[in-house]
C-alpha cells in the first residue's frame, strides 16, 4: 500500500478515506478549513512498508490564526504511518517547499545514523525539488512520531504519528485504537519568538506576581511579611517564580489531533470497550498534563516500550514523549480528554463519546504552578538562605564538587561487589561556571524521579511519576557502565541562552562514545525549568530504581533542580543529535552531538 498526498489539489473526502482505509468512515471529519487527513486519530487499517510523503506549504487557519504551514499533504498533523516490526520500510519524502530545505526525523526509532534525518549530522537535508528516500529495517514496535529537523518546521506543523505493530501478539490489543497528537498552533514565527525572548525573557508571561496578586499570596503565606520576604528573595536572585513556560497560551492555541479546543475532536466508543489512546506530545515548547475526568487511565507503554500497567488519574507528558494508555468507559456518556499546558494558560481538549457530536464537560484548569527553591537546586533551603546559612554537619562544600554516586549506582555496587566493578571513568565537568550563559548553580540537586512534577504534587489525584515506570521485560544489556558522563543543564533566562555545562552548542565539542560502550549519563539540571532531553539513535534506560526492569526511553524530562541518570549502550555507530526537545532551547544551544565510533 502506498499513500500519496498530492499537493495543492487539496484532500477530497474520497481520497481521505482511500488513504486511511475504511476504518475511518465513522470518524469525525474535521473542520474543513484544516483539511486534516490524520485528524481522526484513527490508525490506518493496515501496516505498510512503502510511503510517499510530500512536504509543501499549505495555508491553514485554526482559531483565527492563519499560517502558511510546512506540512505533509496539507495536513496538520501529518498522516499516521503504520509499520510492521521486522519490515524494511521505504519512505520517499519530496520537498516541494520553494526556498527551504526539509527533513524528517523518526523520533525514537532506531535507524542507521544516515537515515536519522538530522541535517548536518545524518545527511545534508532535502533541497527544494529533491526527493530523499529513507530506507531502514524496523527493529522495534510501539508508538512513535516523526518531525522535521530543519529550520523550525516542526513548530509550524511538520509532524505526525508512527504506529509500529509488534511481531508478537500485542498484549495491549484493544477494541479501539486512537492516536492523540498534542501540539500547538500559532501564527507567530519561531524566529520572532526567539527575537522577542532575547529582548524580554518574560515576553509571553502574563501571570507574574504583581501588586494585585499580593493580598492572595499574603493570605496563603499566613501574613504579609512572609509573602514580602519571599518576593524580595526571588527578586534578589533575579528570578521569577512564575517562569513556567517560555511561550504560552498568549499566542498558542493548543491542539488535539489538529483540532483547536472549540473544534472538539471526537472519538467514538461503545460502553464496556477497551480503548487504547496513544498520546504523543508533538508540541515544540509545551508540557501537557493529561487527564480524562471520570476515567482511570492504565499506562501501558512509555516512549514506545511496554511497561507494567500503572493506573493513574493524570500524567505529565513532556515534549516528544509518548504514553499509551488504556481506558474502559462503562457509561453511555461523553468523556473529555483534557490536556492543560503546564503553565495553565490553555488546554487541548477532545471528547470520547458513544455517539458522534457529543460534548464532554470541560473541567476548570488547575492553579498555575510556581517555582520553589527545590527548582533552583537549593534543596530544602528557604528563599534568601545561602549555603553558609545551612548547618550541615559532615557535609562540607567541597564534596559537592565530587561525582556523587547515585542510589542506583550504589545498589549496583552491592550487587556485584567492588571487585566485579570495572574501573569507572567519570567525565565530571564540576559545578558549572556562573557566566554569561549560565545564571544558576544547583548546589543541592535532588532526585525528583518520584515527583510527578511542579504543579502536580499533592493535587489529590493519582499522577504518574517516573519511578512507577517498570519495563515488562529485563534490559537487553546487563553490563554495568564503564564510564559516567555528568552533564549540567544550564541556561540564562535573562539573556535567553541555553546549553550544557555553561556552554552553548557552537562553543562545545562532541561527546565521543566507543562502539559497544556502556555509559551512564547523569544530568544535573541547574536551571529552574524542565528539559525533555532526547538522545537520537540509542536508548536511554532510566535508572529509576526498577533494577534490570528499568524503562527504555528516548526522551527524559529532567526536572528543575534535579539529578537523574540513565544508561546507554552505544550499539549503533554514527553521529547523533542529543538535545533538549524544547525547540527554542535546542536552537539556542542546548544541543550536542554524540559520536559513536
Partner 1 sequence: MKQILPLAALLVIPLANATPAWAVQTTDHAADAPSDTPVVSVGHISPVMDQGRYFHGILDEFEGRYAASGTDFRWDGEAWYGSDYNKLWLKTEGTLERGRLHDGDHELLYSRAISPYFDIQGGVRADIDDGPTRTWGALGIQGLALYQFEVQATAYVSDRGRFAARFEGSYDFLLTNRLILQPQAELNLYTKSDTGRQVGAGLSDVDTGLRLRYELWRKFAPYIAFTYAGYLTQARRIAHDHGEETGSLRLTVGIRSWF
Minimum CB distance to partner 1, residue 259 (Å): 27
| Cell (9 digits) for 266 | 471526537
Minimum CB distance to partner 1, residue 100 (Å): 12
Binding segment toward partner 1, per CB under 8 A, in 153-161, 192-200, 275-283, 553-561: 192-200
Binding mask 417-446 for partner 1 (x = CB under 8 A): ---------xxxxx--xxxxxxx-------
Minimum CB distance to partner 1, residue 496 (Å): 9
Query: Do residues 255 and 75 make contact, with C-beta atoms less than 8 angstroms apart?
Result: no
d(CA 493, CA 246): 9
DSSP bridge partners of 306:
301
Minimum CB distance to partner 1, residue 433 (Å): 4
Under DSSP, the state recorded for 438 is B
Query: Do residues 272 and 200 make contact, with C-beta atoms less than 8 angstroms apart?
Result: no
Minimum CB distance to partner 1, residue 114 (Å): 9
Cα separation values, 545 from 523, 551, 558, Å = 16, 10, 16
Query: Do residues 342 and 288 make contact, with C-beta atoms less than 8 angstroms apart?
Result: yes
**Which of 46, 66, 235, 361: binder of partner 1 (CB under 8 A)?**
235
List CB contacts of 404: < 8 A, sequence separation 6 or more: none
Residue 534 binds partner 1 (CB under 8 A): no
Cis before 441? omega within 30? no
CB-wise, 333 or 495, nearer to partner 1?
Answer: 495
**Which of 52, 123, 354, 514: binder of partner 1 (CB under 8 A)?**
123
Residue 518 binds partner 1 (CB under 8 A): no
CB-wise, 59 or 198, nearer to partner 1?
Answer: 198
Minimum CB distance to partner 1, residue 432 (Å): 8
Closest to 265 measured CA to CA, from 184, 356, 330, 175: 356
The CA-based dihedral angle spanning residues 204, 208, 213, 216, taken in that order and rounded to the nearest 10 degrees: 120
**Which of 292, 319, 595, 596: binder of partner 1 (CB under 8 A)?**
595
d(CA 496, CA 564): 24
Residue 476 binds partner 1 (CB under 8 A): no
Residue 481, class by beta-carbon neighbours within 10 Å (0-12 exposed, 13-18 middle, 19+ buried)?
Answer: buried
Residue 224 binds partner 1 (CB under 8 A): no
Minimum CB distance to partner 1, residue 586 (Å): 6
d(CA 195, CA 184): 19
Binding mask 538-577 for partner 1 (x = CB under 8 A): -------------------------------------x-x
List CB contacts of 64: < 8 A, sequence separation 6 or more: none
Binding segment toward partner 1, per CB under 8 A, in 193-201, 263-271, 307-315, 448-456: 193-201
Residue 360 binds partner 1 (CB under 8 A): no
Residue 140 binds partner 1 (CB under 8 A): no
Amino acid at each position: 500500500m502506498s499513500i500519496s498526498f498530492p499537493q495543492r489539489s487539496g484532500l477530497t473526502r474520497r481520497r481521505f478515506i482511500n488513504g486511511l482505509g475504511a476504518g475511518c468512515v465513522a470518524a469525525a471529519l474535521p473542520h474543513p478549513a484544516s483539511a486534516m487527513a490524520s485528524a481522526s486519530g484513527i490508525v490506518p487499517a493496515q501496516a505498510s512498508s512503502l510511503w510517499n510523503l510530500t512536504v509543501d506549504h499549505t495555508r491553514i487557519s485554526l482559531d483565527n490564526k492563519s499560517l502558511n504551514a510546512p506540512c505533509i499533504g496539507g495536513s496538520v498533523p501529518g498522516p499516521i504511518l503504520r509499520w510492521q516490526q521486522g519490515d524494511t520500510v521505504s519512505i520517499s519524502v519530496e520537498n516541494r517547499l520553494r526556498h527551504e530545505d526539509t527533513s524528517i526525523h523518526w523520533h525514537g526509532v532506531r535507524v542507521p545514523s544516515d537515515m536519522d534525518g538530522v541535517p548536518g549530522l545524518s545527511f545534508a537535508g532535502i533541497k527544494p525539488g529533491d526527493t530523499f528516500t529513507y530506507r531502514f529495517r524496523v527493529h522495534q514496535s510501539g508508538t512513535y512520531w516523526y518531525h522535521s529537523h530543519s529550520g523550525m518546521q516542526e513548530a509550524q506543523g511538520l509532524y505526525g504519528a508512527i504506529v509500529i505493530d509488534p511481531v508478537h501478539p500485542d498484549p495491549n490489543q484493544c477494541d479501539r485504537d486512537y492516536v492523540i497528537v498534542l501540539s500547538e498552533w500559532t501564527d507567530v514565527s519561531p524566529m520572532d519568538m526567539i527575537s522577542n525572548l532575547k529582548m524580554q525573557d518574560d515576553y509571553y508571561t502574563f501571570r507574574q506576581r504583581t501588586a494585585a496578586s499580593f493580598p492572595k499570596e499574603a493570605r496563603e503565606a499566613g501574613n504579609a511579611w512572609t509573602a514580602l520576604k519571599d518576593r524580595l528573595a526571588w527578586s534578589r536572585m533575579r528570578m521569577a517564580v512564575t517562569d513556567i513556560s517560555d511561550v504560552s497560551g498568549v499566542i498558542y492555541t493548543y491542539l488535539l489531533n489538529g483540532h483547536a479546543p472549540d473544534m472538539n475532536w471526537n472519538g467514538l466508543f461503545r460502553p464496556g470497550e477497551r480503548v487504547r489512546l496513544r498520546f504523543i506530545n508533538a508540541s515544540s515548547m509545551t508540557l501537557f498534563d493529561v487527564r480524562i475526568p471520570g476515567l482511570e487511565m492504565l499506562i501501558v507503554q512509555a516512549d514506545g516500550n511496554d511497561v507494567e500497567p500503572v493506573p493513574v488519574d493524570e500524567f505529565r507528558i513532556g515534549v516528544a514523549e509518548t504514553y499509551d494508555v488504556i481506558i474502559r468507559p462503562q457509561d453511555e456518556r461523553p468523556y473529555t480528554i483534557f490536556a492543560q499546558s503546564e503553565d495553565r494558560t490553555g488546554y487541548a481538549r477532545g471528547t470520547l463519546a458513544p455517539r458522534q457530536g457529543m460534548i464532554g464537560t470541560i473541567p476548570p484548569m488547575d492553579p498555575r504552578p510556581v517555582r520553589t527553591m527545590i527548582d533552583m537546586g537549593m534543596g530544602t533551603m528557604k528563599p534568601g538562605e545561602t549555603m553558609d546559612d545551612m548547618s550541615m554537619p559532615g557535609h562540607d562544600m567541597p564534596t559537592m564538587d565530587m561525582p556523587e554516586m547515585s542510589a542506583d549506582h550504589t545498589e549496583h555496587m552491592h550487587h556485584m561487589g567492588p571487585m566485579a566493578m570495572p574501573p569507572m571513568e567519570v567525565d565530571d565537568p564540576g559545578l558549572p561556571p556562573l557566566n554569561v550563559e549560565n545564571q544558576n548553580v544547583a548546589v543541592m540537586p535532588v532526585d525528583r524521579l518520584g515527583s510527578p512534577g511542579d504543579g502536580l504534587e499533592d493535587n489529590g489525584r493519582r499522577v504518574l511519576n517516573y519511578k512507577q515506570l517498570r519495563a515488562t521485560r529485563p534490559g537487553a544489556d546487563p553490563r554495568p557502565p564503564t564510564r559516567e558522563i555528568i552533564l549540567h543543564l544550564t541556561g540564562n533566562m535573562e539573556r535567553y541562552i541555553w546549553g550544557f555545562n555553561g556552554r552553548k552548542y557552537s562553543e562545545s565539542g562532541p561527546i565521543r562514545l566507543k562502539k559497544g560502550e556502556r555509559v551512564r549519563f547523569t544530568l544535573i539540571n541547574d536551571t529552574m525549568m524542565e528539559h525533555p532531553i532526547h538522545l537520537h539513535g540509542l536508548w536511554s534506560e532510566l535508572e529509576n530504581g526498577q533494577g534490570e526492569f528499568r524503562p527504555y526511553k528516548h526522551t527524559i524530562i529532567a526536572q528543575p533542580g534535579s539529578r537523574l541518570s540513565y544508561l546507554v549502550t552505544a550499539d549503533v555507530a554514527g553521529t547523533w543529535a542529543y538535545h533538549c526537545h524544547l525547540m527554542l532551547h535546542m536552537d539556542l544551544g542546548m544541543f550536542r552531538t554524540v559520536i559513536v565510533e
